[in-house]
Structure 1
């Protein structure tokens, strides 16, 4: 997998114009994009279809949590669109995840990625919904469930990557939102993610992909930031 495709650029915009402007500005340098609920609701699947047509990887962050039939239908729609990843909520349980995996089997390019714990949550938030587990415990529990259900990978914070890699082995994908850039690279230095880390730390810990949104897309020169990030991560993988 090329380094460029391990960097998933989150198109967290509330309108199609701004999302397309970033894609156009990055050009060939941007190889992987996340399209989430906000942009899909505003603009429909048109941009995702365009990205697929241009040979980009498209991560449809749908966070599916529904009855199995509905989840399977949404996964098949993602596959027909040409997406390379689609997210389901591991909290939905094995039946939902297994339905997603079965639906994805007809689309060789599509990977089902299970969201463990939303990266803005804290231990207090879990307690408020009746869970006695800590975030660390819940992430591992749900990742184990996702692996048994046949999911191709999980979403978790960068700070969970090391424990997940040890638990899941070498083959599953670990997708980590919540990476933060150095202040000299971006004007965005705050995050809603409760357990962020820098991109290199996430990769060293075992993440296969990082997801980066506003710190890159709102930077004064997004293309320069992406080039520097790709160079940094490429050097991590170069032979010593």
Structure 2
């Protein structure tokens, strides 16, 4: 992801809604996130449709299961042509290694395997809740940094993290290790269910690889204008 993309989260319930949303974007080549709601409703045809339109696809299913199951699942997903996929770092090193094995095995000859990033701690997670509900006694930042190191040791391409931890992750794991960051909001936006948020300007200054933005774009009255405004903030451009 050398171009530091802004990934639009397609938080819709059907492919018809997605297609209507994308109609005015006919001049844009986008990077689009397909999450569980949309994929479970519409299945692989969602990825096929978006790829036929010329867009890149982040398939965010956050796999977390025994290693053999994740290996088989990733072998299937890698054949869809998506560009980026996720697992949960909490699944452990063996599971993440199995995910990479499945991706390599399932990628058609001559094609590039999807990049794989591990979810560390969700951006909706607060430290006190993590400690109480997950029984993790360390700080939230330390938990995220530990998961990032584990993902790197398993051969993954990067992690999903908040902007709050991205700088230290890159310091420890190197700039080539991807940091994909949700929880991005303009200064005037509602945080909604996100807890560890940052502005696109802060994310850019932190050197983050990619940001993920959903509702501020897909629920905007003029989505194309909203997207372009976000891109200007993210890339540091001016009109």
CA–CA distance in structure 2, aligned partners of residues 200 and 45 of structure 1: 34
SS of the residue aligned with 2:118?
Answer: strand
Q: Which residue of 2 aligns with 1:99?
A: 98
Say whether the 8 Å CA contact 2:203–2:234 is kept in structure 1. no
Unaligned runs of 5+ in 2: none
Q: Which residue of 2 aligns with 1:136?
A: 141
CA–CA distance in structure 1, aligned partners of residues 138 and 26 of structure 2: 44
Say whether the 8 Å CA contact 2:71–2:99 is kept in structure 1. yes
Instruction: Give the 5 Å matches for 1:19-98.
Output: 19-98=18-97
Say whether the 8 Å CA contact 1:34–1:59 is kept in structure 2. yes
For residues 76-120 of structure 1, the C-alpha deviation after alignment (integer angstroms, 9 at most, x for no partner) is: 222110011110000000000001111222432411111111111
Q: Which residue of 1 aligns with 2:15?
A: 16
- After TM superposition, the structure 1 stretch with the greater mean CA deviation from structure 2, 172-181 or 122-131, is 122-131
For residues 1-39 of structure 1, the C-alpha deviation after alignment (integer angstroms, 9 at most, x for no partner) is: 575x61100001122222221122322325100000011
SS of the residue aligned with 1:28?
Answer: coil
CA–CA distance in structure 2, aligned partners of residues 10 and 92 of structure 1: 24
Say whether the 8 Å CA contact 1:6–1:210 is kept in structure 2. yes
CA–CA distance in structure 1, aligned partners of residues 27 and 137 of structure 2: 46
CA–CA distance in structure 2, aligned partners of residues 182 and 168 of structure 1: 29
- After TM superposition, the structure 1 stretch with the greater mean CA deviation from structure 2, 25-34 or 209-218, is 25-34
Say whether the 8 Å CA contact 2:87–2:96 is kept in structure 1. yes
Give the structure with the higher percent helix.
1
TM-score with structure 1 setting the length: 0.90
CA–CA distance in structure 1, aligned partners of residues 55 and 113 of structure 2: 12
Coordinate RMSD, CA, aligned: 1.7
CA–CA distance in structure 1, aligned partners of residues 104 and 40 of structure 2: 26
Q: Which residue of 2 aligns with 1:190?
A: 191
Paired positions, count: 231
Unaligned runs of 5+ in 1: none
- After TM superposition, the structure 1 stretch with the greater mean CA deviation from structure 2, 19-28 or 49-58, is 19-28
- After TM superposition, the structure 1 stretch with the greater mean CA deviation from structure 2, 146-155 or 10-19, is 10-19
SS of the residue aligned with 1:82?
Answer: coil
CA–CA distance in structure 2, aligned partners of residues 192 and 150 of structure 1: 31
Say whether the 8 Å CA contact 1:35–1:59 is kept in structure 2. yes
Say whether the 8 Å CA contact 1:200–1:233 is kept in structure 2. yes
Deviating runs (4+, > 4 A) in structure 1? none
Q: Which residue of 2 aligns with 1:124?
A: 128
